[in-house]
Amino acid sequence: MIAVLQRVREARVEVGGEVIGAIGPGLLMLICAEPADTVATAEKLIAKVLKLRIFSDAAGKMNRSLQDVGGGLLIVSQFTLAADVSAGNRPSFTGAAPAEAGRRLYEHTLAFARQQHPVVASGEFGADMQVHLVNDGPVTIPMRMA
């Protein structure tokens, strides 16, 4: 799975002008399933994200996790993270999992995250979404979990 984490002061996702998911301070996580990804891959990704020490401690060092600070987690599917721009000027998205496999992994990722963390919001798989965020830092971390 490919993920991009953004530490935020707040974030929300809208579909058709309606807010469908929102958090205060925490992490916005954009994710893309790849063809070889499994449920185990998704669970490994969430376990890592929840424990990743990217929030400041009292000394101002990135030493606290999302779980330590009790922040929110907004998970948004984004197949364009698998874009291949090596040939031509139009990106290829063949590196993304097929739509139904991607949907299943996205839904499992959400369910697992909600079992592990109390504040989880989401986007809508396959929808045209508008994502609004106030990046904190800015701290943006790309990840690939196999």
- The answer to pTM > 0.75 is yes
Tens of pLDDT, residue by residue over 6-64, are 999 999 999 999 999 999 999 999 999 999 999 999 999 999 999 999 999 999 999 99
Of the listed 6, 41, 78, 109, which one is catalytic?
78
Annotation marks residue 140 as catalytic = no
Which residue reads 């030493």 in tokens? Answer: 63
2-139, which class in CATH?
alpha beta
Nearest to 102 by CA among 29, 21, 35, 3: 35
Annotation marks residue 130 as catalytic = no
One DSSP character per residue, 5-69 reads EEEEEEEEEEETTEEEEEESSEEEEEEE--TT--HHHHHHHHHHHHH---EE-TTSSEEE-HHHH
Q: Where are the domains of the chain?
A: 2-139
For the chain, first and last CA: distance in Å?
A: 6
